[in-house]
Structure formats: C-alpha cells, structure tokens
C-alpha cells in the first residue's frame, strides 16, 4: 500500500530462483515476510517494484495480469489460516469449487472430492457439514483437499500442518512429499518447523525483517545455530540433541543429522566406538 | 491438598440434536496453580470442552461444570466465570474486534470495567510481554499470522484472569517466540499463581506440564503426569498422538539393542542416560 498512512514495506529486494522440481522451505521469525512472499507466487499480491516469473507467467509491477485464472490453476496455495480459504455452504461444495471452476462436470467434480478425502484423512460423514462447523484440524484438511484436488504443478504451502494432530502432521508431510515426487511438483513450504525444513527441503530460504538473509541446502543453513537464534529460529531437535551429546561426550558428530533415524545411527556408532 | 478449581462431572454434549455426541460423559478436575495440557486427535472435542470452561457453552443440568465453585448453569454466574477464565482462541481472527491493536486489547478491559487510567498501563504492560509494543497503532487485520496470535495473547494477559486457557495459541510462532511467550505465561503462573490450561498438539509443551489429559473421541481416556502418560504408548498412538522426541529416540535405540534404564522425557534425560550407559560398558 504505497503512499497511504499505513505504508509499510513488507518485503525488500528479494532475489530468489527456484528450479522446477525443487522442494523449497522458507523459514523466518514472525512477521519476517514469508506469507507476503508466498502470496506473490500465485498473483494474490503484486510487487510494487520488480517482477516475478512462474513458468511462462510474468507478474510485473504496474502491469495488469490477464491470465490470473490460469496461473491459479498452475499454482495451488494453502493459506496460513484455513478460514481464509473456506467459503462454501458444505465441505463437499467447498472442495468441488476448483474442479467446477476449471471445467469439470458436476459428477466428475464430486467424484474427485470423494477420491481426495482418504488422502487427507477426512471422514465422508463431514461432506454435508458447513466447513465452519468443523474443528480446527478438520478445517485444515478441507482447505488442503480443496487445493490438491486441482492437481497444481506448483504447491505453495503456508504453515500447512499447523493445527494438525501429531500423526496427522506426519501423514500430511508424507502426502506432500509423495505428490512432489510422483507428480514432479515444485513445492514451496513456509514453516516454523526447523525439523520439516531440514528433513524435506532441497533449498532452505531464511527471511529476516523482510529480507532474504540466507539460502542454501539444509546442511549449509543449520550450521549456524547462533545466527539462527538471533533471528528467532533454531536448529532441528535432532541437531540440538547431537550438539548436547558432543558437549557431554567431548566428541564431534556430523552436522547433517536431520532425521531421528540418522540420529539413532549416529548414537549407536558412538556407543560402539566407545565400547571397543 | 491443593484447592480444586475446576470440576466437570459427567458432561455430555452434541452440537446437533440428531448428530453424534461430541463430548461423552467427561469428568475432569483441575487444581489451583496447575499447568495442565489437553492433547488429543483432531475433532476429539478439546476446543468444545474449553468453551464449557469459560461458559461460552452451558450444560443443561446443575453441578456439571463448576469454576471456582461457580456453577455455570446459573446465568448470574456466567459473567463472573468469563472474567476469571481468559481464553485465547485457536484462530486469533475470532478474537479481533477493533481497528487498532490498542483498542483491541482495550476492548476486553472495558468489558470487565477497568478504569481508563489503569487500562493504559495494562495495555502497555501486556503488549510489552508479547514483544508487540511497537504495533499499538497497527490494524490487527494487517498483521502477520504470528503477530495476530501475540495480540490475542496480550488481550487475555491484560485482563489478568486467574485461569488462562490457551487453545493452540502459539501454533504460528517462530521457535524462539514460542519459548518466550510460554516463558511469560510461566512467570505469571509463578508470580500470581494463575492456573494454565494449554490445549496443544506440541508434545514437548505437554511434557513440560504438571498434568496431561488425553482426549479421544469426546472422552478423556487417561490423565496423569507427563511421565506416566507418555509411557502409555498404546493410548497415545490411539489418540492420534506420537511419542515426544526423546522417548521416540529412546524407543528406536532400544530396537537396536541399547536399553536405557529410565524413561527419557527430555533431551537432558536422554543425554544423562546415554552417559550412564557409557559408564556401564
Ligand atoms: N495485509 C497487510 N497489510 C499491511 N501489512 C501487512 C499485511 N499483512 C502483513 N503485513 C506486515 O508485513 C510484514 C510481513 O508479514 P507476513 O505476514 O509476510 O509475515 P510472516 O513471515 O508470514 O509472519 P508469520 O510467521 O507471523 O506468519 C509484517 O510486519 C506484517 O505486519
Ligand atoms: N460449531 C460446530 N457445529 C457443529 N459441529 C461442530 C462445531 N464445532 C465443532 N464441531 C464438531 O465437534 C467435534 C469436536 O470439535 P472440536 O473443535 O472440539 O475438536 P478439537 O479437539 O478442538 O479438534 P482440533 O484439534 O482439530 O482443533 C468435531 O467432530 C467437529 O466437527
Ligand atoms: Mg505468515
Ligand atoms: Mg480445537
């Protein structure tokens, strides 16, 4: 909103190149500009300066966009709060909206809805309920279903697992990664979970006060616990534990321990070495 | 014995006459000064239960929901109950009413009749507590997701309730911000003796509480100390949960033949146990 009393620059001179097929995680403190950046990727927000290219689409400052509908078919976006995405009278109609909008018949659309439910672990029984009469986690699942049902080629996920129960959170991340591979998607995940960023991303992008301050593969980014803490972030739990063991055992461990399995392997190796 | 602060006796509830029971025969007692976590799968009834605790939902019979001895079935108690129980909602948008952050925090204070002069001081204090003092003039709807959560928390802190319910109130905060906000609430608990009910999907938060209640399909299946609860693996998995980080690592170590002697709830526990194992070998 330039030139209004509320003018406030949420993003500043961002340069980022995402390759087709990459899985990118965006991390950063509260208010650092992650959601603002995510909303530029499907044309919901337009840059006040500079340009964005997604596939063959260009979004430029001071220019009208003609093909936003096509862009939105290409780029599926899961909003930070599911309430910002849900709107129809029933869960069924809400999820069917995209397919109908992109040209499916009613039968096709409702069949697609039924096919997507088990993937996001939603009960058939909820289909005729209002999406606003659901629990927080159920709303989240409906919002995600409404995006996945359109088979976008680019997935932009803004805190997609907030509000899900622990098993749901893991299953949903597994769903995203398997779709990412099977359908050769490009995925952008905004997350406060350092664990997910480390375990799933090829490229981690770090935001601080509207600027992009670091980008690189997880093992490069999570090398710097002190810098990360200064900007509200941390290293994944697996690495936190590894660092505690290093200190207590006066030893050195690898810096890329990003899954529990890798952590357990490292610990067993350490214990074996000690017993020889 | 600590004073019983909240009592629920055989509470059942459905949203729709001909629908399923969302809460079925729930019993629960919370004592003064406790830090309580409520965990459970999506749709298990946590938020619904919370709404009974601050009289947003009212039982049909007397003696079912008692808050500091006040029976919420009596209309004349409702006001007093809402004053004593502050609830931060799962979605902060449901709590935002005003056009500036300052007025938003003020709204709750006006409602409970705080005089203007004290109001100013409380608003300043609460916004500082959540690191949002620079945003007093901002429009709440133009804040980031996590900033909105901080404002919603400030709004409740300012009212200084004796019981605080946090319904996934930190789900959108960055790792350090989450620690800071919980630390603030912990400090208030220590200084003012408030009681905290934290509804959360974060198992590490649950580990750091006095008592954990596990909800499963409208029922409280088990409750107890985190140490007890997280060793009931079957109940935990059945309720859509997982083991906290350190216990999960411990379990995987066991399957590789490394048995640690005590259950490790925290990373510190785990490092200590590994150290003991090393001394033994
Ligand atoms: N609709 C809006 N109008 C004006 N300013 C906004 C709007 N939404 C967000 N902002 C501001 O822009 C900045 C970046 O916000 P953004 O929502 O992108 O942060 P974020 O990194 O997603 O944070 P969070 O982790 O809390 O969701 C913040 O300072 C915020 O106050
Ligand atoms: N306003 C409503 N009208 C009708 N049914 C509702 C309403 N709110 C919730 N429900 C239903 O009641 C059940 C319990 O919902 P509740 O919100 O209490 O769950 P929860 O444990 O808080 O879940 P979550 O972890 O997803 O927030 C769910 O099956 C939900 O669909
Ligand atoms: Mg955001
Ligand atoms: Mg809930």
For residue B92, the chain A residue with the least C-alpha distance is: A81
pLDDT in tens, chain B (281 residues): 689 999 999 999 999 988 899 999 999 999 999 999 999 999 999 999 999 999 999 999 999 999 999 999 999 999 999 999 999 999 998 888 899 999 999 999 998 899 999 999 999 999 999 999 999 999 999 999 999 999 999 999 999 999 999 999 999 999 999 999 999 999 999 999 999 999 999 999 999 999 999 999 999 989 999 999 999 999 999 999 999 999 999 999 999 999 998 999 999 999 999 998 887 76
Query: Nearest Cα to B270, choosing from B257, B258, B281, B256?
Result: B258
B96 lies in the same domain as B198: yes
Say which of B68, B168, B205, B273 is annotated catalytic.
Answer: B168
> Which segments of chain A have a pLDDT < 50?
1-6, 276
Q: What pLDDT sits at residue B281?
A: 61
Q: Which of chain A's residues have a Cβ under 8 Å away from the Cβ of B41?
A: 137, 165, 167-168
- Asked if the structure places residue B205 within a domain, the reply is yes
From the CA of B43, how far away is ligand 2's center (Å)? 5
Tell me: do B93 and B195 sit in the same domain: yes
With a CB cutoff of 8 Å and minimum separation 6, the contacts of B109 are B119, B122, B123, B158, B159
Report residue B181 as tokens.
């906000």
pLDDT attached to residue B250? 97
User: How far from chain centre, in Å, is Cα B48?
Assistant: 13
- β-strands B35-40, B85-88: how paired? unpaired
A28, A40 in Cβ contact below 8 A? Answer: no
- B17 catalytically annotated: no
Residue of chain B whose Cα is closest to the Cα of A236 = B175
Structural domain includes residue B151: no
In chain A, DSSP assigns E strands to: 23-28, 51-54, 57-60, 75-78, 154-158, 186-190, 203-208, 211-216
Q: Which residues of B touch A30 (CB under 8 A)?
A: 144-147, 150, 172-174, 177
Ligand 4 centroid distance, CA of A176 (Å):
23
The answer to whether position B139 is within a domain reads: no
**Is B28 part of a structural domain of the chain?**
yes
Whether B154 is in a domain gets the answer no
Q: Are the Cβ atoms of A264 and B268 closer than 8 angstroms?
A: no
**Identity of the residue in B146, B172, B281 whose CB atom sits nearest the CB atom of A274:** B281
Write the pLDDT tens digit of every residue in A40-77.
998 888 888 888 888 888 888 877 777 788 888 899 99
Q: What are phi and psi of B124, to 5 degrees?
A: -60, -45
Q: Whole-prediction pTM value?
A: 0.95
Q: Render pLDDT for A126-151 as a digit per residue (tens, 0 to 9).
A: 999 999 999 999 999 999 999 999 99
Percentage with pLDDT > 90 across chain B: 91
**Residues within a 6 A CB radius of ligand 2:** A 133-138, 165; B 15, 22, 40, 42-48, 90
CA distance A60 to chain B (A): 23
Q: Tell me, in angstroms, the distance from the centre of ligand 1 to residue A227's CA.
A: 22
Q: What is d(CA A11, CA A8) in angstroms, rounded to the nearest whole number?
A: 9
Compare all CA atoms of chain A with the CA of B179 and give the residue at the minimum distance: A232
Given this model, what pLDDT does residue A251 score?
93
pLDDT at B157: 95
Domain range for B253 is 244-281
**Shared domain check, B75 and B52:** yes
Same domain, B85 and B16: yes
Q: How far is the CA of A211 from the centre of ligand 1 (A)?
A: 13
Specify if B135 maps to a domain: no
Ligand nearest to the CA of B215: 2
Structure letter (DSSP) for residue B65: E
Which residue from A35, A159, A189, A197 has its CB within 8 A of the most atoms of ligand 1, so it is best to mutate?
Answer: A35
Angle CA B57–A123–B198, to nearest 5: 40
Between CA B114 and CA B161 the distance in angstroms is 13
Quote the ipTM score.
0.94
**Confidence at residue A274, expressed as pLDDT on a 0 to 100 scale:** 67
pLDDT in the model for residue A129: 96
Shared domain check, B280 and B171:
no
Of B41, B201, B274, the CB nearest to A267: B274
Distance from CA of A104 to the nearest CA of B (A): 31
**Residue to test with chain B: of A133, A141, A192, most B Cβ within 10 A:** A192
Judge whether B164 and B5 are in contact, CB under 8 Å: no
Q: For residues B167 and B276, state if they share a domain.
A: no
What lies within 8 Å, CB to CB, of A14 at 6+ separation is: A37, A50, A211, A212
Task: Please check whether residues B253 and B220 belong to one and the same domain.
Answer: no
- Counting one residue from A and one from B, how many pairs have CB atoms under 8 Å apart? 143
Cβ–ligand 1 distance for B172 under 6 Å, the answer yes
Q: DSSP characters for B135-187?
A: GTTS-GGGS-HHHHHHHHHHHHHHT--SEEEEESTTTTS-HHHHHHHHHHHHH
- The answer as to whether B280 is a domain residue is yes
For B174, which of A163, A192, A260 is closest by C-beta distance? A192
Ligand 2 nearest-atom number relative to CA B46: 21
Distance from CA of B173 to the nearest CA of A (A): 6
A28 lines ligand 1 (CB under 6 A): yes
pLDDT digits (tens, 9 = 90+) for B39-86: 999 999 999 999 999 999 999 999 999 999 999 999 999 999 999 999
**Both tokens of residue A112?**
């697609």
Domain count, chain B: 2
Query: Are B18 and B96 part of one and the same domain?
Result: yes
**In whole angstroms, what is the distance from residue A39 CA to residue A167 CA?**
28
Q: Which helix (H) or strand (E) holds A185?
A: none
Domains within chain A, CATH numbers bracketed? 23-217 (3.40.50.300)
B261 and B213: one domain? Answer: no
CA atoms in the 13 A half-sphere facing the CB of B211: 17
Give the count of beta carbons closer than 10 Å to the beta carbon of residue B181. Answer: 23
Is B143 a domain residue? no
Whether residues B14 and B84 share a domain: the answer is: yes
CATH code (residue B170) = 3.40.50.300
Q: Are residues B172 and B225 in the same domain?
A: yes
Bridge-partner residues for A206, per DSSP?
A27, A214
- Ligand 1 binding pocket includes A30 (Cβ within 6 Å): yes
**Neighboring chain A residues of B258 at a CB cutoff of 8 Å:** 267-268, 271
Residues B172 and B58 in one domain: yes
What's the CA gap between B257 and B161, in Å, rounded? 50
**How far is the centre of ligand 2, averaged over its atoms, from the C-alpha of B49 (Å)?**
10
Question: Which ligand has the minimum distance to the alpha carbon of residue B143?
Answer: 1
């Amino acid at each position: 909103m330039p030139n209004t009393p509320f003018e406030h620059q949420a993003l500043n001179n961002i340069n980022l190149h995402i390759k087709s097929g990459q899985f990118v995680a965006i991390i950063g403190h509260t208010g650092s500009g992650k959601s603002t950046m995510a909303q530029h990727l499907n044309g919901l927000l337009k840059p006040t300066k500079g340009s964005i290219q997604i596939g063959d689409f260009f979004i430029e400052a001071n220019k009208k966009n003609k093909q936003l509908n096509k862009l939105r078919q290409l780029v599926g976006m899961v909003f930070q709060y599911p309430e910002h995405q849900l709107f129809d009278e029933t869960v069924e109609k809400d999820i069917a909206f995209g397919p109908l909008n992109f040209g499916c018949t009613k039968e096709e659309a409702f069949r697609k809805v039924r096919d997507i439910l088990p993937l996001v672990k939603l009960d058939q029984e909820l289909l005729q309920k209002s999406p606003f009469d659901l629990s927080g986690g159920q709303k989240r699942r409906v919002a995600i279903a409404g995006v996945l049902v359109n088979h976008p080629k680019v997935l932009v996920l803004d805190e997609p697992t907030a509000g899900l129960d622990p098993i749901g959170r893991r299953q949903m991340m597994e769903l995203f990664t398997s779709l990412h591979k099977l359908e050769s998607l490009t995925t952008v995940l905004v997350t406060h979970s350092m664990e997910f960023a480390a375990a799933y991303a090829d490229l981690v992008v770090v935001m601080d006060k509207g600027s992009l301050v670091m980008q690189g593969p997880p093992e490069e980014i999570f090398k710097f616990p002190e810098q990360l803490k200064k900007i509200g972030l941390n290293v994944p739990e697996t690495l936190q534990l590894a660092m505690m063991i290093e200190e207590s055992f006066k030893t050195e461990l690898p810096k890329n321990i990003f899954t529990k399995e890798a952590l357990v392997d490292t610990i067993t190796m350490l214990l074996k070495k000690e017993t020889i | 014995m600590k004073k019983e602060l909240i009592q629920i006796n055989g509470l059942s509830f459905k949203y729709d006459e001909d629908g399923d029971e969302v809460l079925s025969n729930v019993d629960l007692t919370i004592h003064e000064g406790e830090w309580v976590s409520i965990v459970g799968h999506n749709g298990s009834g946590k938020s619904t239960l919370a709404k009974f605790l601050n009289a947003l939902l009212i039982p049909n019979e007397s003696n079912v929901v008692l808050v500091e001895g006040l029976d919420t079935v009596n209309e004349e108690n409702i006001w007093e109950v809402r004053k004593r129980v502050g609830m931060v909602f799962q979605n902060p948008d449901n709590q935002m009413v005003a056009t500036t952050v300052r007025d938003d925090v003020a709204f709750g204070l006006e409602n409970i009749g705080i005089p203007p002069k004290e109001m100013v001081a409380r608003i300043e204090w609460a916004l500082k507590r959540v690191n949002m003092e620079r945003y007093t003039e901002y429009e709440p709807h133009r804040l980031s997701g996590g900033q909105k959560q901080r404002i919603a928390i400030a709004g409740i802190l300012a009212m200084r309730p004796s019981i605080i319910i946090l319904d996934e109130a930190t789900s959108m905060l960055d790792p350090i911000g989450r620690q800071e906000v919980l630390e603030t609430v912990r400090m208030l608990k220590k200084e003012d003796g408030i009681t905290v009910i934290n509804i959360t999907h974060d198992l590490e938060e649950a580990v750091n509480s006095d008592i954990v209640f596990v909800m499963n399909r409208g029922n409280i299946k088990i409750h107890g100390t985190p140490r007890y609860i997280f060793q009931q693996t079957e109940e935990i998995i059945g309720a859509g949960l997982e083991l906290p980080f350190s216990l999960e690592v411990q379990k995987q170590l066991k399957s590789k033949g490394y048995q640690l002697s005590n259950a490790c709830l925290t990373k510190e526990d785990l490092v200590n146990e590994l150290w003991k194992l090393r001394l033994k070998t």
